[in-house]
Amino acid sequence: MNYQNTHQFAQQLDQQDELAPLRDKFIIPRHNGKDMIYLCGNSLGLQPKQTQAVIAEQLSNWGNLAVEGWFDGDSPWLQYHKQLTKPLAGIVGALDTEVVAMNTLTVNLHLLMVSFYKPAAKKFKIIMEGGAFPSDQYAIESQVRFHGYKPADAIIEVFPRAGEDTLRTEDILQKINDNAGELALVLFGGINYYTGQFFDLEAITKAGHAAGAYVGFDLAHAAGNVPLQLHNWGVDFACWCSYKYINSSPGGISGAFVHEKHFENVELNRFAGWWGYREDKRFEMKPGFKPQSGAEGWQVSCSPVLLMAAHKAALNVFDYSGGIGPLRKKSKLLTGYLEFLIEGINTSHQKQRFKIITPKNEDDRGCQLSIICDNGKAIFDQLVQNGVLGDWREPDVIRLSPVPLYNSFTDVYFAAKFLSEAVK
């Protein structure tokens, strides 16, 4: 794409964009009487217009049916979660039976580590990305301590080389290979929250399995953002939140993936709950846990219907988009245009005012660009005052994420324009 730094060019791209009508399915926040330029989908996605109606439907069922809503009505709550599995499976590249909407992200991470972190005398270590989001760090630290190990002894972090901002795939694979004799688990993020780097999940999975370890991923910043093929890659487990790129409400219900190869593995530990018991016998209330087949067997608690209703409304928008393929195509163009405009600011100032630490290769990133600049917080605040809402991350990064579901090329053009003015 030969980008141009003009409003007319941005408008032309919007006119050619087949996904442009999706924007109208979302509520765009306002700033000084105009639509805000919202580039913070990496933290919280916008509210679909359908959300209120879908939640209201279940509130009506609650009011009219009360407890019988679990069994009666157009969408009985007992089976409500099953409406979400097919669209979720499409987003993460899984079989329908391998995914389930349940709990929240870190809760699911803990529950899955109960099954897939099985330390032994010699193989007890976990490899993770250096600088992972704190929730992952804390969850892994506490799991290690729970099993009687010290984090300093059991956790191996992989950091970028000196002078570099992102990880090299060969360094990740080498670290796995070097520690194969002691490695129990490889647990990475799909996309690093700080730099926006999209890791080679297929290669990491293959290397982890060759080392005799389980492999799992936190897909908080990857689900709904980049193409995933969890089943075909042979990933053992994964979990993700739904409130970023899937737009399913603040703190919305999470999702989990378990590969079908583990469904009949009775040696896997599991923290059980009534909701994960086999459906055909659940109401017999007998002792002795017998899991429902598939990922649903990892459920613990009763499904939160109102959160699932918000999730359903958000997933409906993905159906309108035609899936992750068209979204990914637009995402690359949007992010590429933002990168082009930022590099243009650097050129016009005859120095690098903004350093982009997100990988330049479009296949190694999602729709996020992380930038470092002098007086970064002041520049970020100036953007907010002009109706451009991105995300500030200590100590020095501005994250801007043009989301293909609701952001336009005109959004990107004016965001860069205000960024240039903020530098001045």
pLDDT per residue, tens digit, the chain (424 aa), is 899 999 999 999 999 999 999 999 999 999 999 999 999 999 999 999 999 999 999 999 999 999 999 999 999 999 999 999 999 999 999 999 999 999 999 999 999 999 999 999 999 999 999 999 999 999 999 999 999 999 999 999 999 999 999 999 999 999 999 999 999 999 999 999 999 999 999 999 999 999 999 999 999 999 999 999 999 999 999 999 999 999 999 999 999 999 999 999 988 999 999 999 999 999 999 999 999 999 999 999 999 999 999 999 999 999 898 889 999 999 999 999 999 999 999 887 766 689 999 999 999 999 999 999 888 899 999 999 999 999 999 888 999 999 999 999 999 999 999 999 988 7
Domain ranges of the chain: 7-47+323-423, 55-319
Among 1.20.120.530, 3.90.1150.10, 3.40.50.1980, 3.40.640.10, what is the CATH number of 7-47+323-423? 3.90.1150.10
7-47+323-423 and 55-319 share one fold: no
Contacts of 91 (CB under 8 A, 6+ apart): 223, 224, 228, 246, 318, 324
Q: Compute the chain's Rg from CA coordinates.
A: 22
Q: Which CATH class is domain 55-319?
A: alpha beta
pLDDT for position 395: 86
pLDDT for position 168: 98
pLDDT for position 350: 67
pLDDT for position 375: 86
